[in-house]
Amino acid sequence: MSETVRLTQTVQKGGCAAKVAAHELRALLARVKFPPTDPAVRVDGSTFDDAAIVEINDRLALVQTLDFFTPIVDSPRLFGQIAAANALSDVYAMGGLPKTAMAILAYPVAKLDRQVISEVIQGACETLSQAKTSLVGGHSIDDETLKFGLSVTGFVDPRRVWTNAGAQPGDVLILTKPLGTGTLTAGLKKGAWSENEMAEAMDSMSQINALTDLLSDTPGIHAATDVTGFGLAGHGLQLAKESQCGLEFSFSHLPLFCKALTSLTAGHLTKAHRTNAEYVGEEISFNESLSPTQRLMMFDPQTSGGLLLTVDPDRAAAILSRIQKRFPRASAVGRVIPSPAARGSAAARLSVEP
């Protein structure tokens, strides 16, 4: 059964495109009264950052996160690899190193062969091994739909934490992975192409976002976030809001997967393309020369996407060169600009130029 089942056909939505829409999540959380925050908590969910930071002492802090979703690809082992890489990414986005993980698993016991589930877990273990992260347990339930992910704990030096709140005007924006996984996997689900025909995107989603070892001794990274289900525009907007600045992207410098624009033109979309656009709303402006398809790419929901870094312009070239040793398609994609308030109340926080 593990050789014939197409996991994408067992679910309606897959990967990070299955996320609750950002505006819906904000509205839901606004109705909740949260418990008091411990003074040791430096970063919590209120800033929509990638993970929580809990300071243990002046040299050590915990990084805590979790992520799970429904299948985005057909191959069980590949699904496990991507789900693990996606969950680990939140720790890397905070400048940390993952150490332990716990599995979150739901699947229809009576419908899916156990070999399928074993392959999902094995794929995750392979990715965790690359990250030198131990799988220490987890929780499973019998459910109608396959869902898998990880709760991950890591460590970071409190003096070297990356958050989404430190961007400074003049910073260079660096994106480490290409865009387009949302539309490409939508095409995969529709049978427009096979996994082999989108191998570049599969390899990218499976690659862990390990940058800490490359950049731990490199100053000049002011802010970071990983680009996942809310798209480049959605995650960029959250960074801009928390940093009280604006972001200007150059579309021609955005790395895109082969077939990504073709896939969008063919109408291979997810619900998240619409909800991401609604979330950003009038906070984004596009140069009039950009086509509707190019604009739509800014809202494409990424699964296990790249990191978006804001970097001191004097150090950007050296930092990008280091990153490209591991992520060859990493690119400088724009710059941080002064806050909209400084430019006029009607100004958008995000702008996209040719």
Residues marked active site are found at 16
Non-local CB neighbours of 228 within 8 Å, separated by 6+ positions: 16, 19, 86, 89, 235, 301, 302, 303, 304, 305
Please tell me whether residue 177 adopts helix, strand or coil conformation.
coil
Element (H, E) at 233: helix 231-243
DSSP β-bridge partners for residue 350:
247, 284
Element (H, E) at 169: none
10 Å CB burial of residue 281 (0-12, 13-18, 19+) is exposed
Residue carrying the six token digits 């509707």: 292
- Distance, in Å, from the CA atom of 129 to the CA atom of 47, rounded to the nearest integer, reads 31
Angle of helix 76-93 relative to helix 199-206, nearest 10 degrees, comes to: 50
3-state helix, strand, coil in the chain (%, to 5): 40, 25, 40
Strands laid side by side in the 134-142 sheet: 41-43, 52-57, 60-69, 147-156, 97-107, 134-142
- Distance, in Å, from the CA atom of 156 to the CA atom of 87, rounded to the nearest integer, reads 16
Element (H, E) at 15: none
Element (H, E) at 140: strand 134-142
10 Å CB burial of residue 109 (0-12, 13-18, 19+) is exposed
Terminal Cα distance for the chain, rounded: 48
